[in-house]
């Protein structure tokens, strides 16, 4: 499918010189004289390398066909994560590099969206939030609650997060998987 460079957004995949690339950032530069230029930062999902490209904004780009399917996370072995399609029971193995830092929040049985191109996994998207248990939290110091302060806590997966003073060890909280930030106390 053909498209123009100005229409590419972060996360879009396209073919360039026979290679599949995924847009990380697309900036449109409008010089005082001349045509606008799209400055695209792209990542090769198969090799993991980043590339900077320049296109005229109206230049034709070949968009890649990606298929997104829900998979259930099963287990991890030596940095390789195994997922299963619940409809076909097909298993797919994904390198930890494709998941990135949110892999710390993967839980057995979690449903994740996996994008594939010609059968090869390109990216893994976790749910926006996940419920975790606080395994370690500093006690509340009297008088510390007068200002909006946060204290460090350790989650069941070993990740550190800043939480409000009322959160104690054993409390279940909701955490954003994208950045690992505290969202709220779990409602369960």
CATH of domain 129-185: 2.40.50.140
* Lowest-pLDDT choice from 10-14, 49-53, 168-172, 173-177: 10-14
101-120 residue pLDDT tens: 888 999 999 999 998 888 88
Percent of the chain past pLDDT 90, that is, above it, reads 45
CATH of domain 67-125: 2.40.50.140
- Return the pLDDT at 31: 83
pLDDT, greater one: 52 or 11: 52
- Return the pLDDT at 113: 93
Does 143 have pLDDT greater than 70? no
The mean of the pLDDT values for the chain is 88
Indicate the burial class of 128 (C-beta count within 10 angstroms; 0-12, 13-18, 19 or more): exposed
Q: Where in the chain is the domain with CATH 2.30.30.30?
A: 2-63
Q: What is the CA radius of gyration of the chain?
A: 21
Tell me the CA distances in angstroms from 160 to 57, 168, 179, one per residue in order.
Answer: 43, 14, 11
- Give me the CATH topology for the region 2-63: SH3 type barrels. (2.30.30)
Q: Which two tokens stand for residue 93?
A: 């193995």
Q: Put the strands of the sheet holding 160-163 in their side by side order.
A: 160-163, 151-155, 129-137, 172-176, 182-185
Average pLDDT over residues 55-75: 91
Q: Where in the chain is the domain with CATH 2.40.50.140?
A: 67-125, 129-185
């Amino acid at each position: 499918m053909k498209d123009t460079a100005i229409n590419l957004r972060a996360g879009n995949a396209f073919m360039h010189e026979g290679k599949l690339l995924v847009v990380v950032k697309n900036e449109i530069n409008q010089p005082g004289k001349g045509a606008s230029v799209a400055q695209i930062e792209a990542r090769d999902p198969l090799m993991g390398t980043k590339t900077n490209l320049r296109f005229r904004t109206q230049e034709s780009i070949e968009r890649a066909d990606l298929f997104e399917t829900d998979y259930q996370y099963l287990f991890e072995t030596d940095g390789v994560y195994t997922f299963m399609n619940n409809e076909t029971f097909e298993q797919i193995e994904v390198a930890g590099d494709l998941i990135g830092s949110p892999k710390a929040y993967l839980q057995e049985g979690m449903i994740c969206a996996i994008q594939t191109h010609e059968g090869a996994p390109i990216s893994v998207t976790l749910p926006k939030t996940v419920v975790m248990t606080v395994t370690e939290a500093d006690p509340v110091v009297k008088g510390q609650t007068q200002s909006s302060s946060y204290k460090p806590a350790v989650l069941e997966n070993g990740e550190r997060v800043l939480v409000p003073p009322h959160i104690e060890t054993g409390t279940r909280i909701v955490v954003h998987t994208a950045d690992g930030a505290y969202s709220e106390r779990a409602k369960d």
